[in-house]
Structure 1
Amino acid sequence: MGVYNVHERLLPANQSEVGALIDTLASGTDKLWPKGGWPTMRLDRPLEVGAVGGHGPVRYTVAAYVPSQWVRFTFHGPRGFHGFHEYATFAVDQEHTLLRHTLAMDAHGPARLTWPLILRPFHDACLEDSLDRAELACTGTVARPAHWSRYVRLLRKLMR
């Protein structure tokens, strides 16, 4: 099963300011990865090609990294995830930047069920929370905060 999942937010900030958020991933000063009950993104060393880590059951390696612009993580877990997820910045003009998160993978075996039933709803909620953090970091506020669906709230309750 092919999966292509994109979340993006247009931010009123220049590309270097938005890109600097990517550079904080998995650090003690992470300004992009969501908090509040989401598994922490961890790497075995600072963000660089070859760093290994993940969040929750999702395991990956940093496959490519252009500081303040783009980072790609290739999956090696959970079983059945074959592909990548990445953050990238795209300058729209001097004062606006698009921050995009892309997940592209082939789901095999158990992932054909766990992705649509459990992991995708969590992923979507987590990524919208991440984009809220980016907006907060760039503007000091979030115009339209993300809200978890009833299904995500139910899944979170069941997982406790």
Structure 2
Amino acid sequence: MSQLFKTLASSEDLVWLSENWPAIKFKNGLQFGSKGGHGHIRYTIIEMSDFDDIKFQFSKPKGFIGTPELQVLALSGKITE
């Protein structure tokens, strides 16, 4: 389980851009089928992969269609300028 994704929707969230968006919350925590969202946007967790990948299905507002996804991608330790 990714240490980064463990923080999603928590008070220590390191994933969600809460400076620019309402906080993300889930009724039953980070688990398949949990419903939640941010602000007036609502969705359900429809896929999870060892917390390296999480996919949602929009449910509200009307007209929102799609499956947004968050992924953690490994980066090399090498920094280039």
Using the size of structure 1 for normalisation, the TM-score is 0.43
Greater RCO (CA < 8 Å, at least 6 residues apart): 1
1:83 to partner: Cα distance:
1.1
Question: More strand per residue: 1 or 2?
Answer: 1
Q: Trace 1:1-40 onto structure 2 (pairs within 5 A).
A: 19-36=2-19, 38-40=21-23
Q: How many residues are aligned here?
A: 78
**Does the alignment pair 1:82 with 2:65?**
yes
1:88 to partner: Cα distance:
1.0
Q: Which blocks of at least 5 consecutive residues in structure 1 are unaligned?
A: 1-15, 97-160
Q: Which blocks of at least 5 consecutive residues in structure 2 are unaligned?
A: none
Partner SS, residue 23 of structure 1: helix
Partner SS, residue 39 of structure 1: coil
Q: Distance in 2 between matches of 1:62 and 1:28?
A: 19
Aligned CA distance change for structure 1 residues 78 and 70 (closer, same or farther; 3 Å): same
Asked if 2 retains the 8 angstrom alpha-carbon contact of 1:52 and 1:60, the reply is yes
Partner SS, residue 22 of structure 2: coil
Which of structures 1 and 2 has the bigger CA Rg?
Answer: 1
Identity of aligned residues (%): 33
Question: More helix per residue: 1 or 2?
Answer: 1
1:63 to 40, 46, 64: 46
